[in-house]
Amino acid sequence: MSDTVGSGHLVSWEGGFLMIGRSDAIIPMHAHYAIQIAFGAQRGIRFRLSDAEPWTEYDGVVIASRQPHSMDATQVTPMIVLFVEPETREGRVLAQRCGESGIAGLSAEEIAGVAEPLFKAWRDERSLAGVTAAAEAVIRSLTAGVEPAVVSDERILRATAYIRSHLDRPLTLEEVAEVACLSPSRFRHLFVEETGMALRPYILWRRFLRVWELMTARESLSAAAHAAGFADAAHLTRTCRRMFGFPPSALQLAAPLRADTGDKSVPRGRDATYPASSPPVRSHLAP
């Protein structure tokens, strides 16, 4: 695999995560906990579920949690990969689409109505809120309008806030349950009920989101690893390879999308693949 696998933006929300931009290399065989939705600006994204299989071309796909796969999106610039936690409401619906095969093709008709608004929000609007809303609309469309769970229990809100502020060290079920003033068994049940996710994958999910945030802010790999609770940069790199098929250093991260929803009239640059105000920059993070 080449030193760089792609360039673009990373956008996250509770239970979801988006990569959008350009793919520069084939992603080797890997498997991750999240369900994956992937498609490009045109037909041509390719997948295979083992190295012995031939490539199959799709308009788009949904890939089941923990399903080994390899991806070639080098011919569909720009491209989108959405990750959805399988224990969320939307994740459970998407899992049903995959069935026993582990992969389900998406038709051109299914993608047509939702892909362009997402590409347009990223290309023209360039706001974090706009891209997030368009990404969530893709998931709603592919799950027959299922709305995400909204955490409302004050005890779980305290727990998730505690997790996000203590990602730099190990966290146990007993410790987080105590913050919520619940027994571990009661907390475990209520946490899944409110968030749609078990505690352990939630914490790992938050650790990775923290890493991507720090990478975008140009932190060193070592600093990002420690701040997100990984033992060291090597531990982060091994985990990232296993979950996503590439090390964190292999992404060229664009500057963060605008947090506000203000002026959208900034002119486009020469490269239509990227917003003019957010050119891709080579990550200096080395494994």
pLDDT digits (tens, 9 = 90+) for 198-252: 899 889 888 988 998 888 788 889 999 999 999 999 999 998 888 788 888 888 8
Q: Domain locations in the chain?
A: 6-149+247-260, 154-195
Q: What is the DSSP letter of 147?
A: P
**pLDDT given at position 149:** 66
Q: DSSP 3-state assignment of 17?
A: strand
Distance CA 105, CA 142 (A): 12
Mean pLDDT of 21-38: 91
Q: DSSP 3-state assignment of 71?
A: strand
Q: What is the pTM of this model?
A: 0.77
Q: Which phi and psi (to 5°) does residue 219 adopt?
A: -75, 155
Q: What is the pLDDT of residues 42-65, one digit of tens each?
A: 999 999 999 999 999 999 999 998
Going by C-alpha positions, the residue among 28, 34, 119 that lies closest to residue 72 is 28
Q: Is the peptide bond before 78 cis (omega within 30 degrees of 0)?
A: yes
Distance CA 117, CA 136 (A): 11
Going by C-alpha positions, the residue among 229, 232, 177 that lies closest to residue 203 is 229
Distance CA 209, CA 205 (A): 6
Residue 270 or 105, more confident:
105
* E strands in 54-198: 56-58, 60-63, 69-72, 79-84, 103-106
**pLDDT given at position 260:** 64
**pLDDT given at position 86:** 81
Distance CA 12, CA 45 (A): 23
Q: Which phi and psi (to 5°) does residue 229 adopt?
A: 90, 10
CATH 3.40.50.300 fits 154-195, yes or no: no
**pLDDT given at position 142:** 93
- The b-or-e profile of 9-39 (16+ CB within 10 A means b, else e) is bbbbebbbbbbbbbbbbbbeebbbbbbbbbb
**pLDDT given at position 234:** 94
Distance CA 94, CA 104 (A): 9
CATH number of 6-149+247-260: 2.60.120.10
Tokens of 49: 């579920």
* E strands in the chain: 6-13, 16-23, 27-30, 35-40, 45-48, 56-58, 60-63, 69-72, 79-84, 103-106, 251-254, 280-281
Least confident of 141-150, 162-171, 209-218: 141-150
